[in-house]
Structure 1
Amino acid sequence: MTRGRAVAVLTAAAFLFGAPAALAAGRGGAGSQEMETSGESFGQELLSRVAFTAEGAPSKARHTGSLTPTAVGWKAPACWYEPYWKAKDFKTFMEAKWSIHKSAGGDPKDLANVKARYKGGHPYKDFNAGKNGKGMWWVAVKNKDMKDDPAADACTRPPFWADKSKPPKVPQAIDPKTLAALAYQRTEVPDTTVELKPEAKSTVKLPTWVWLDKGTFKEVKVRAELPGTGLWAETTAKPVSLHLEPGAEDAMTYPASGECTFNKDGSIGTPYVKGSAQQEPPCGVTYLRATDGQPHQLTASVTWEISWRGTGDAKGTMPDGTFETTQDMNVQEVQSVNR
């Protein structure tokens, strides 16, 4: 039997024998990254079964993007261990795999050790089939969005058993905090195009008013859960401030820090009204030199505060996240202005 044929038969066996849906998709399908054996663990690289739902996410009509954590070096986990197989399903799958390898004319390296580990009592006997329904086989999975990250190869434990009443004390075993980090990674927020006055062209030494109407930004919640396990976490991204970077050294921001906080009604700054041209806005920028064919790039960045809660009253915070956009700012030199 050829390698490709063996994989095809294994896929069919996984489906017919009631293995998890993630395996039924087959090699290269939506549910499985790979159906190959991997050394002593004799395991597979499987897609996680973690499911995500979003609430308050911006309309698809708006441009959106992922948050950039403000904490240097922070990132979601690239791999982890999660409960995947019931005892009898794991037994059926592994024995079907062994049969296929035998039919293909050879056994993989260390097969005897693998059989001893899961069937022969060193340390597991008959795949723990006698405990079916009382626990799960846990396996390593990779974050599909980070599969090229070197950290994705850090979860090297072979499949291991854990009773339902005793969560495994294994580094990188999935828990509410892990789920919260994964939910954070998948949080989508709207772009930060701000309202400007004047809109098309600013004037040297006269302030440009910047504001965001109430309702432009709302809390975004993302829930991550592992079906059938009771494990879940929900992150809440709350907008807290808008930061302005003029894109030019010869410029001033209002306030001087460039940090415009949200008002109680969810708006930022104050809309310009006629007759306020020479007043300092609560949020804005003044350019001190005219542009010469090349517009300045005004960067508007909203900071989102991240909190989370999960299974068993677990809760906490994570690093703030930011999402920024840029807008062209042309600046003219004019002696007198009426607006």
Structure 2
Amino acid sequence: MPVRGPLRRFTVGTATVLAAATGATFITAPNASAEPVNTGKGGRATQEGGGARDGIYAAARIQYSGSVAPNGGKGNVTSSDVNWNPPPCWYAPYLGAKDFKKEMSANLEKAINTPGMTGTPGAAISETQRHYEDEYGWTDTPGYKDYNVAKDGEGMFWAGVENPNEPDMLKRSSCTDLPFWVDNGEAPPHEDAVTPEMLAALAYQHMQLPDTKVRLAPEQTTKVNLPTWAWLDKAVFDEVQATAAINVPGFALTATTTAKPVSLRLEPGTPDAETYPASGECAIGTDGSIGEPYAKGKADQTPPCGLKYLRSSGDGTFDLQATITWEIAWTGSGGAGGDLPDGTFGTTRAVTVQEIQAVNR
């Protein structure tokens, strides 16, 4: 079982020492980063998480594919639920037994030889070393004989992984349990172990939606009290998919998040305007388009999707905000799936509104 407790951190070389509230300390392998890296394989990029130091950071190796943000960046989707966030950290396959022994024993050796590591810190290092070298472990927690090397290939040590897109450092670094062993095919004994739903949330976070290129008539300059038609062609409204996956020996998970456009919201940028419909929310039609293209002879008609400005923008412009709402769902390994919060993505364009000039004769 994972070794847990309220902890404080400080660094010794490349290792992280965790100090428990009781005053005891122990040392862990450094948390891996799941930051994705663009592999440069085209527009809809395939990305691979993490810097693979020594090629063995399996915990950081989350592959992103489909419509994901370039260069490993956060996507442009904003959740409609302000209380929903992707996981700040999680536990995932880290290293096989032999590689873990090499990594952890080197960290422990460096810590032991660090000046000042006496007393309680020194004792904690010794206890951690015994945890991974002695099957009887320390305190009441079973340990691992010789880092479980006899079972190399039959499972992996799992460790905490930080989500680099989590802005709260305390949340991001809260997965501080000691790395623990999981046999191939067995469920990890941790409530924060990575799941398909977590991967779906990470795919959501990296998803890149297309720009909201709303067509207007009149295009850039309109008149006071003249209806402005707004529409989006069906071609703009393809479904968008992003996939996150982990695939290491003895363990594989995948989840695909799908975004489907459902409506367009228009915000004129001034209270002195009317929208069509009055809610400002234009629903997607049966043919997959939104609104209706303007055609000659419709100038005096009320558009099914659009707006009307009631005053001039003067020497400036009004910022018209056009935001598409996307319905988002996911499917994953083992037939798992469900809904995620709706996502939104919008663009702003400057609109000039002029007074209609009348000539008295």
TM-score normalised to structure 2 length: 0.77
Query: Counterparts of 1:210 and 1:93 in 2: how far apart (Å)?
Result: 59
The match for 2:31 is 45
CA contact (8 A) 1:65 1:323 kept: no
Q: Aligned to 1:256, which of 275, 278, 285?
A: 278
The match for 1:281 is 303
Q: Does residue 287 of structure 2 align to residue 265 of structure 1? A: yes
The match for 1:93 is 103
Report how far residue 275 of structure 1 moved: 0.9
What is the letter of the counterpart of residue 125 of structure 2?
L
The match for 2:129 is 115
The match for 2:346 is 324
Query: Counterparts of 1:150 and 1:126 in 2: how far apart (Å)?
Result: 33
Aligned-pair identity (%) = 45
Q: Does residue 201 of structure 2 align to residue 172 of structure 1? A: no
Report how far residue 150 of structure 1 moved: 2.7
Query: Counterparts of 1:260 and 1:235 in 2: how far apart (Å)?
Result: 24
Query: Counterparts of 1:300 and 1:252 in 2: how far apart (Å)?
Result: 15
RMSD over aligned Cα atoms: 2.3
Query: Counterparts of 2:157 and 2:312 in 1: how far apart (Å)?
Result: 67
Q: Aligned to 1:72, which of 73, 82, 86?
A: 82
Report how far residue 219 of structure 1 moved: 1.3
Report how far residue 330 of structure 1 moved: 1.5
The match for 2:215 is 195
Query: Counterparts of 1:235 and 1:184 in 2: how far apart (Å)?
Result: 6
The match for 1:206 is 226
CA contact (8 A) 2:75 2:206 kept: no
What is the letter of the counterpart of residue 81 of structure 2?
A
CA contact (8 A) 2:29 2:107 kept: no
Change (3 A) 1:133 1:294: same
What is the letter of the counterpart of residue 54 of structure 1?
G
Residues 43-98 of structure 1 deviation map (CA, whole Å, 9 limit, x = unaligned): 2121221110115x69x8xxx95100000121111111101111122122222334
Report how far residue 99 of structure 1 moved: 4.1
The match for 2:256 is 234
Q: Does residue 247 of structure 2 align to residue 220 of structure 1? A: no
TM-score normalised to structure 1 length: 0.82
CA contact (8 A) 1:86 1:136 kept: yes
Q: Does residue 149 of structure 2 align to residue 152 of structure 1? A: no
Tell me the secondary structure at the aligned position of residue 234 of structure 2. Answer: coil
What is the letter of the counterpart of residue 71 of structure 1?
D
Residues 143-174 of structure 1 deviation map (CA, whole Å, 9 limit, x = unaligned): 12226543112211111112223212312110
Change (3 A) 1:278 1:193: same
Unaligned stretches of 5+ in structure 1? 1-33
Query: Counterparts of 2:170 and 2:180 in 1: how far apart (Å)?
Result: 23
Report how far residue 195 of structure 1 moved: 0.7
Residues 23-55 of structure 1 deviation map (CA, whole Å, 9 limit, x = unaligned): xxxxxxxxxxx9333331422121221110115
Tell me the secondary structure at the aligned position of residue 327 of structure 1. Answer: strand
Report how far residue 201 of structure 1 moved: 1.4
What is the letter of the counterpart of residue 199 of structure 1?
E
Residues 109-164 of structure 1 deviation map (CA, whole Å, 9 limit, x = unaligned): 32111112111121222212222222211100101222654311221111111222
CA contact (8 A) 1:41 1:157 kept: no
Tell me the secondary structure at the aligned position of residue 260 of structure 2. Answer: strand
CA contact (8 A) 1:65 1:190 kept: no
What is the letter of the counterpart of residue 62 of structure 2?
V
1:126-145 matches, within 5 Å, as: 126-145=146-165
Tell me the secondary structure at the aligned position of residue 230 of structure 1. Answer: strand
Query: Counterparts of 2:254 and 2:179 in 1: how far apart (Å)?
Result: 22
What is the letter of the counterpart of residue 208 of structure 2?
E
Residues 276-317 of structure 1 deviation map (CA, whole Å, 9 limit, x = unaligned): 011011110011112211211111000111110111000011
Q: Does residue 321 of structure 2 align to residue 311 of structure 1? A: no
Query: Counterparts of 1:149 and 1:66 in 2: how far apart (Å)?
Result: 21
Q: Identify which range, 201-210 or 129-138, moves more after superposition.
A: 129-138
